[in-house]
Amino acid sequence: MAKKSARSCRVHLIEYSVMPSRFFLPAPVSPAVKAEQIRLLYHQGLTIQLLGILTGVVAVLMLRDVASHFHLFLWFLAHLAISLVRLALTTRFNRHPPDEAEIIKRWGWLYVVGTAISGVVWAALSLFYDATWPLPYQIMLFVIYTGITAGTFTTNASYFPAFPSFYMLPVGALAYVTLTNDQTGSTALGMLLCIYIVLLYVTALRFNNRLSVSLALRFENERLVEELAESNRKLRYLADIDELTGIANRRFMDAALEREWNRHRNDQRPLSLLFIDLDYFKQYNDTYGHTAGDRCLIRFAGLLRAQAEQVGELVARFGGEEFAVILPETDRQQAIEHAEAIRVELESLAIPHHSSGIAEIVTASIGVSTLIPQGDCCIAQFRQATDRALYQAKHGGRNRVVWLPCADKLMACRICNNPDDNADHTKTPSH
């Protein structure tokens, strides 16, 4: 949807660039860009409205010597009232900004109505103008008008309808007053104001179009960044997950084992590792086919995942019919019981395997090792001990659990074992 919206926006901009309307109408934009333009309008509106009130005070003080005090007072009350209402609406929008594009659009038109009313109030100030005023006062009035239009340019032009609705009324009213005045030079001054109106419109239109393009590019870049981040997350997931079974692969398991090793070495807690091999699985594939073999692996991976209840416990597939389980904060007895539960649960699935050398169903041999990592231990020796346990399980009759300590005399590892019990532990099924 985002790609389609961005493509549609680019098509509209291309069509707009060749249309005559581009000289007097803003470029079409997406709802997201329009919503952001309105947010910018309200975000900057607080400052503009406060400055508008201050400018009204300055106008009254500067014109008090040449205009009716009563009329100036009425004008200022009207100006202050509409400014305070707009200030309250702007504050409300900024404190509780809506999220829906349609609601934001309505807020945008509310702002346009507010600027139009403010424009009417400022246009009323031109009624005080008299060509007989001393020149400094005439200059003051023109400075006030050019100041309010220039001051609101960057804010109101961000949402294009807001700017013409504000500046055209006061500047147009002043241009009309000067054009209809009989004083020398008034016609030329009125013409200059008309040119000023056109220049402001064209400049605001170009500013708005460039802002629209910038916002569209920003949203497009944000979308591309999100897509790239999502692609990277998927790639990392695919790099760490076994495609067939959906559990972790060897790469992820190696990294997880290193993390758990370091954590258990710091906490001095027991860490256990299981290596699992499905018995006579090559014969299973030869007899039932690789599709059936894949289904068997998937079922066994689901069994392992269901058994993994502890926080940090990880099941992984090494490849083929080989699996591993990391058991954090698990001592020898707990690890043996966990391995035996896996073996028994697999038997309960009763997956037929008539080519097995030990049973008529799929079974597994499991090697287990446990230790509390010490500073001079290494993960490779821990894994070697687990691998030796698996070797003994396979060559000792299969379909059994064998636990071995890290037997390397050079390794100062403390084994989770009773001090007087250094014998291998083998658990086989009862028949």
Q: Which residue has the tokens 């702002």?
A: 111
Closest CA to 24 of 192, 209, 154: 209
Lowest mean pLDDT among 9-23, 244-258, 283-297, 379-393: 9-23
- What is the pLDDT, as a whole number, of residue 412? 38
Rounded Cα distance, 87 and 47, in Å: 9
Mean pLDDT, residues 12-41:
73
What pLDDT is attached to residue 310? Answer: 61
Residues 6+ apart with CB under 8 A from 26: 160, 205, 208, 209, 212
What mean pLDDT comes out for the span 385-390? 95
Q: What is the pLDDT of residue 423?
A: 41
Model confidence at 30: pLDDT above 90: no
**pLDDT tens track for 333-365:** 999 999 999 999 999 999 999 999 999 999 999
> The pTM is what?
0.58
- What ranges in 308-416 are assigned the alpha helix state H? 332-349, 379-395
- Report pLDDT for 177: 87
pLDDT of residue 309: 67
**SS3 label, residue 286:** helix
400 pLDDT above the threshold of 50: yes
Strand positions, DSSP E, 170-222:
none
pLDDT tens, position by position, 128-145: 888 788 888 888 988 998
pLDDT, position 386: 95
Q: How confident is the model at residue 411 (pLDDT cuts 50, 70, 90)?
A: very low
Look at strands 322-328 and 364-371 and give their pairing.
Answer: unpaired
State yes or no: pLDDT of 424 exceeds 70. no
Is pLDDT of 427 > 70?
no
Ordered by where they begin, the domains of the chain are 2-228 (no CATH), 248-427 (3.30.70.270)
Both tokens assigned to 206: 């170009």
Mean pLDDT computed over every residue of the chain: 86
Structure tokens at 334: 């707990």
* CA separation for the pair 315, 247 (Å, rounded): 7
pLDDT > 90: percent of the chain: 52
Strand order in the sheet with 364-371: 248-249, 314-319, 322-328, 271-278, 364-371, 401-403, 425-427
| Listed range (38-47, 144-153, 305-314, 380-389) with the worst mean pLDDT | 305-314
Cβ neighbors of 162 (< 8 A, separation 6 or more) are: 41, 108, 111, 112, 115, 156
Pick from 71-80, 197-206, 267-276: least confident: 197-206
> Could you tell me which residues come within 8 angstroms of residue 400 by beta carbon, excluding any fewer than 6 positions away?
343, 365, 366, 393, 426, 427, 428, 429
CA distance 64 to 57: 11
pLDDT band at 366 (very low <50, low <70, confident <90, very high): very high
Lowest mean pLDDT among 165-174, 244-253, 275-284, 415-424: 415-424
Q: What is the pLDDT of residue 319?
A: 83
